[in-house]
Amino acid sequence: MKKILLAASVLFALNANADTTVIESQAVKNGVVKCVAPLAEMGDFIIGDKNHATHSTWNSGDPDNRLYASLSSKGYSDGDSHVTVIAAPTSSGKCDTTYVETFALPKSCMLTREEVFGDWAYVGTMNGKTLILKNENDTVNIYLSAQGTNDNICLVSKREVIYQ
C-alpha cells in the first residue's frame, strides 16, 4: 500500500512584530524552497504584524515539489479571522499561491456590502444567496454569505490567486 507522507505543525505562540510570519518560517523549517519567496510576500501582505497562530501541512517526503498549506488565526481587536494560504510549485518551476481570509461581521450582508464594500463591483451570486464582489482591478473577490436565524451575521471571505 502506498503511504502518503504528510506532516503538520502547529505553532500557538503569537507572532506580533516579527521579521517573518509563521507561514514563512514553518515552510523554511520544513524544506520548502521554491515557494518561500511567494509565501513570504503573501504572509507579509495578508498577516503582516498582526498576532497570529498557524497550523501548516506539507508533504514530508517531497516538501519542495508539493503543495504547502497553512491556516492562521489572525487577531483583530474585535475577533479573529481565519486565513488560509496555499502555495504549489508548477511544472514550469514557478509557484502559484492563493489566500482566503474569512471572518464574521455582526450585521446583515446588505449592510456589510454598503458600509464596507460599497466600492466593490457586483459580480453575481452563488446558490442565489452568496454575493460575489470584485475589486476594481479584478484581482480580488469578496464573498458575502448571510448567517444566523435572522440573517443578522455576515460571513465574509476575501480571496486572491496569484500566478507567478
Looking at the fold, whether 66 and 1 belong to one and the same domain comes out as yes
Judged on CB neighbours under 10 Å (0-12, 13-18, 19+), 1 is exposed
Alpha carbons 154 and 144: distance in angstroms, whole number:
6
How long, in residues, is the chain?
A: 164
Looking at the fold, whether 72 and 144 belong to one and the same domain comes out as no
Domain boundary residue among 50, 72, 99? 99
Looking at the fold, whether 40 and 83 belong to one and the same domain comes out as yes
Residue 68 near residue 27 (C-beta atoms within 8 A): yes
Looking at the fold, whether 94 and 124 belong to one and the same domain comes out as no
pLDDT confidence of residue 121: 98
The total domain count for the chain is 2
pLDDT confidence of residue 164: 86
pLDDT confidence of residue 22: 86
Looking at the fold, whether 58 and 121 belong to one and the same domain comes out as no
Domain span at residue 135 reads 106-164
Looking at the fold, whether 57 and 118 belong to one and the same domain comes out as no
User: If you search the block for the grid coordinates 508539493, which residue do you land on?
Assistant: 66
Dihedral of CA atoms 34, 141, 75, 18 in degrees, nearest 10, equals: 30
Domain boundary residue among 99, 132, 154? 99
Q: Are strands 153-162 and 130-134 parallel, antiparallel or unpaired?
A: unpaired
pTM: 0.84
Residue 32 near residue 88 (C-beta atoms within 8 A): no
Looking at the fold, whether 3 and 18 belong to one and the same domain comes out as yes
Q: What is the CA radius of gyration of the chain?
A: 17
Looking at the fold, whether 27 and 79 belong to one and the same domain comes out as yes
Looking at the fold, whether 115 and 42 belong to one and the same domain comes out as no
In tens digits, the chain (164 residues) has pLDDT values of 333 333 333 333 344 444 678 889 999 999 999 999 999 999 889 888 888 899 999 999 999 999 999 999 998 888 899 999 999 999 999 999 999 999 999 999 999 999 999 999 999 999 989 999 999 999 999 999 999 989 999 999 999 999 98
Residue 48 near residue 99 (C-beta atoms within 8 A): no
User: If you search the block for the grid coordinates 521579521, which residue do you land on?
Assistant: 19
Looking at the fold, whether 122 and 142 belong to one and the same domain comes out as yes
Domain boundary residue among 51, 71, 99? 99
Looking at the fold, whether 44 and 90 belong to one and the same domain comes out as yes
